[in-house]
Structure 1
Amino acid sequence: MNRFAVCVSRAVARVTDAALGKYQTAIVRIGFATTWLLFLLRELPHRQELYGPDGPWSWDLARQLTANNHAFSVLMWSDGQMWFETVYALALLSSALLLVGWRTRTMSLLFMVGVLSLQNRSVFMGDGGDNVIHLMAIYLVFTRCGQVWSLDARRVRRSAAARARGEEPRPDRAGPALWVVLGLVLAVPSVAGWISGAWLVVFWGLWAVQGLWWYVGRRAPHGEPRILLDVVANLVHNAALLVIMAEACLIYSTAGWYKIQGSRWQDGTAVYYPLHIDYFSPWPALSDLLSAHGATVLLITYGTVAAQVAFPFTLFNRRVKNVLLAVMMTEHAVIAVVLGLPFFSLAMIAADAVFLPTSFLRRLGGWAARARGRLARPAARLPLPRPRGPRPPAGEPAEQPQASPAT
């Protein structure tokens, strides 16, 4: 009984003392922000047909659907062209700022608003990758995904270094200003009645918590209120991280078990057919090469099903999980090239990244830091050739060359 109590206390301390998987949540943040940002940039010329007033799914139809299913979309507040362009631009900006980790708590919320607004505006424009982004955008709001590899983390390090030198850190003016602006912006749709019900409680609740966090951190940075807020934030983060991992396992397990029920997956020919659909054949020669041999098609078909069904069970063995994770990421990369589904593959790779080992992610961060240092380092200046003077007369010592600045 005492041993059980000790194990329980250790588990409670582990999930409350720190945010687990900070490297994993950071790579998930970077992966999904990059995927959505690249998608919005690629569809920039076609944004009107996808989500704007010129789309086949009209604004009236979208409004009727959201009224029935209670889906959230700020594009339902107005059908004007200027409002649509503003929302699209803000979705781009929030994705870019979330990618670099600037005010990640706020940007993750704005990122979610952008994803939900555009996807719920035209529900028939998405695919499996969009569904994954849709879910992960909601989960990221509840994670502390800016503790590493972010501008927020750099700001915290600089403040800590200033305190270690006995200096007063630079006051944070951007955070309170952003909080006030967003509060004023949120007040407009709240008064107009455009936001109601659970969404109204969620947005105002998150806004109030952010203000409380800043106030406590300024007035009592090491007191009991701040410790309590850290414990609650760690609990919410760890719960959201568990949900992200469970969601990834659920995606693969359901996909694998549904495939088993299909006759084409049972006879090993399912992979052959999408390779010969024009829409999924950006490289016809490559598709023909992969489908030319029946044994190759059979192995890929059965291998896909086996990997998806077995993946949740491999989490109990680290080595097997890492091997299968590399196989599945490679499979998604092949799908991106062969079937022409880059954003679906990027979304799935970003979801898979939550299972990457911390040691590998640290090495990856080190490689990225060294690469950034090489790019930022100015090129070494080569010494200019010294002009040759007249030859000294015989019997006089020659002038000794001086060391160049480069040496």
Structure 2
Amino acid sequence: MKLIRQILESFRFAWQALRSNITRTILSLLGVTVGIFAIVAVFTIVDSLERNIKESMSFIGDKVLYVQKWPWGFGSGEYPWWRYFQWPNPNYREYKYLYDNLENATAVAVMDFKGNTVVKNGSNSMNALIQGVSYEYNQISDVPIAEGRYFSPIETDAGRQVAIIGADIAETLFPGGNPIGKEFKLSGNRFVVAGVQVKKGESLVDFGGAPDTKCLIPYNAFAKLFQSGRPDPDIVVKGYESDEGLYEVEAEVTGLMRTMRGLKPRDENNFSINRPEAAAQAISGLFGVLTLAGWVIGSFSILVGGFGIANIMFVSVKERTNLIGIQKSLGAKNYFILFQFLFEAVMLSLVGGGVGIFFVFLLSFLPLGSLDVVLLPQNIALGLGVSSVIGVLSGIVPAMLAARLDPVEAIRAK
């Protein structure tokens, strides 16, 4: 109890010292405020950007493999496009072969896209992204249905002219009405609305097209309308939740594709198996650079703030030397004097860090387009933690000097 009482007394002395020198306190904490603001703001914006982009990538699915002609390249070395250009495109027969023979996959789908296609209902029309998909597509990618239903197996196998439309398409083609069961025209053909997707709203980045302006139709219906030339679909295979299971599926897909294409043992693969994790790693690497830049920028400000706090603490020790002598003569222990100045430095740093975090909180209310900035608890904890460390490092030397003062010499000091 005695130790706790002395610690609380040290806090009281520190608080009184800070209140008695408001101007000096404010000037001292500016450096820490700017530094913590820079670090926490960068972390907050980076976290918000990363979350927004990963949400936008949800359409590509989780634990999935994309069998495609072109491998995904993210700037790592040379990209020999001239070699990939000669490879054949995946086709519907290969999809059916994988669908019928894969043993370890949980779902297999085929899909293709057609952009800038007019959808029309009477005098209402708009450009939409048309995506042809097979039945198991909703097991690979999220298709949230607000109204209506998803495709049936018979509709996808027979290539029925039914569609699941985005919220913006529904609002444009069927203003004020329920679109379920109603018809609209797509490339001169009548399609019936089976479902409407949940409205997503604006997003910073929309990989694969904005869901609100996307129209899903059965793949066989899509092939009849748009694949009169050379088809270039994507085959998507969903594995199990574990990475080991996904590697097993990848090995199985590779073997089946090589068999289907008649490749000899020494022939290299003439297809690509792309994993979304590669895109996620590339994005994480980019944000890692931004985070490092935030640390560098903030560190300079924090360094200046730390020296400012240390300088103020040396001045405080000098000004209160006589008071330290009186406290020691009345029985104050060295650790009491040390805690008194150390807590003062930590409190000064924490106040500066708290102000910087408050400015970041205000930043989250600014309109930044489709970017939703959220100050996460871990970033608040990071800011307060860094502030505490800076306070300890800045105040430890002045506090030790104060604790080691001789009480007789301290009382005589002027």
Normalized per residue, which structure has more strand? 2
Normalized per residue, which structure has more helix? 1
**If the length of structure 2 is used for normalisation, what is the TM-score?**
0.21
Which structure is richer in relative contact order (CA contacts within 8 A, separation 6 or more)?
Answer: 2
**If the length of structure 1 is used for normalisation, what is the TM-score?**
0.21
